[in-house]
Amino acid sequence: MTTPKPSTTQGENRFSIRLLKEDPTESDLVWSMVVRNISNSMILGITLKGIRHPLLSVGTLMVFAVVYQYLGNIVVSGAVATGGLVCISYANAYYGLKYRLFNSKSSPDGSHKMYAHYNSGQRGRRYWVAEHDGVIIGGVGIQEQQKSTTRKSGERRTTVAELKRMAVEPEYRRMAVAKALLDTAIEFAKQQGYDVIILDTSEIQREAMRFYLKCGFEEIGVTRCDTVFPLFSYNLHNFRRRPNKKA
């Protein structure tokens, strides 16, 4: 089976899609782009979620009471307590994103490992980048999540592909780059004989969820994740689409 040919848009907003190169520097650059864009799309929402956390709210009131007892100034006490709340919430979000969700050392495709993980010959895996005037502006990967097997009963088990590390730089999001990347991954899934493509996106990423629904994915469930942020868990929305389905 062949890999989808690089695609190119026509007109002023010209960009091309190609496979990630066997170049550690490019892998590092793409990993940084993915981490930066996904983190930026989540950090404000995660910080606000932390601010609303009951435990932090109680802690904020306690800080306010203690500071007010010593200073006797409502405005200053409120500012100190609120500032502490925001700082703790932001630190929780930053730590979870940097050291757990996108830990390049523990992630099998982290940083310079991206090419080896996706494009070094493993069947059913690929990573593509979108390029505009020599600058990488987006990327998407796909890998096998579940192999096709035949049970003793003769029943065939579904082959599932998982969409990974989808990101596009903000200034290029009106150029249909994400749609072109997704179409490339879907075409590859067809060629590889995958029955289903799945992906997860966080409850914070509303724009991403709307995009996938518009592109023919259906939401099939919600998974609770409690391994990323120290102070609370959050929801991952699960999506699915068959490669042959028309959006």
Q: Report the CATH number that the domain containing residue 166 is assigned in CATH.
A: 3.40.630.30
For residues 231 and 53, is the Cβ–Cβ distance under 8 A? Answer: yes
Q: Which of 88, 101, 85, 87 is nearest to 41 (CA)?
A: 101
Return the exposure string of 208-247: e unless at least 16 CB atoms fall within 10 Å of the residue's CB, then b. Answer: bbebbeebbbeeeeeeebeebbebbebebbbbbbbbeeee
Question: Which pLDDT score, from 0 to 100, does residue 213 have?
Answer: 97
Regarding whether 218 and 136 lie in a shared domain, the answer is yes
Strands (E), the chain: 16-19, 126-132, 135-146, 160-168, 196-202, 218-225, 234-241
If one counts the domains in the chain, the total is 2
Regarding whether 65 and 176 lie in a shared domain, the answer is no
Regarding whether 174 and 235 lie in a shared domain, the answer is yes
Question: Which pLDDT score, from 0 to 100, does residue 10 have?
Answer: 40
Rounded Cα–Cα distance for residues 67 and 189 (Å): 59
Question: Which pLDDT score, from 0 to 100, does residue 146 have?
Answer: 61
Regarding whether 81 and 128 lie in a shared domain, the answer is no
Reading the block at residue 192, the tokens are 């590889």
pTM recorded for the entire structure: 0.87
Any residues with CB less than 8 A from the CB of 132 and at least 6 apart, and which? 13, 14, 15, 172, 175
Regarding whether 92 and 136 lie in a shared domain, the answer is no
Any residues with CB less than 8 A from the CB of 185 and at least 6 apart, and which? 126, 128, 140, 141, 142, 163, 197
The domain containing residue 194 runs over which residues?
16-23+121-241
Q: What percent of the chain has pLDDT over 70?
A: 89
Reading the block at residue 240, the tokens are 């699915």
Question: Which pLDDT score, from 0 to 100, does residue 122 have?
Answer: 82
**Quick check: is 163 in a domain?**
yes
HSE, side-chain direction, 13 A CA sphere, residue 47: 16
Rounded Cα–Cα distance for residues 243 and 168 (Å): 22
Q: What percent of the chain has pLDDT over 90?
A: 83
**Quick check: is 3 in a domain?**
no
For residues 117 and 20, is the Cβ–Cβ distance under 8 A? Answer: no
Regarding whether 229 and 159 lie in a shared domain, the answer is yes
Question: Which pLDDT score, from 0 to 100, does residue 4 have?
Answer: 56
**Quick check: is 76 in a domain?**
yes
Question: Which pLDDT score, from 0 to 100, does residue 147 have?
Answer: 56
Regarding whether 126 and 227 lie in a shared domain, the answer is yes
Regarding whether 199 and 130 lie in a shared domain, the answer is yes
**Quick check: is 155 in a domain?**
yes
Q: Which of 4, 14, 26 is nearest to 175 (CA)?
A: 14
Regarding whether 237 and 134 lie in a shared domain, the answer is yes
Backbone dihedral angles phi then psi of residue 222, each to the nearest 5 degrees: -135, 130
120-150 pLDDT, tens per residue? 988 899 999 999 999 999 999 999 986 545 5
34-50 pLDDT, tens per residue? 999 999 999 999 999 99
SS3 176: coil
pLDDT along the chain (247 residues), means of 10: 52 84 97 97 95 91 93 94 95 95 94 95 93 96 73 63 97 94 97 95 96 97 95 96 85
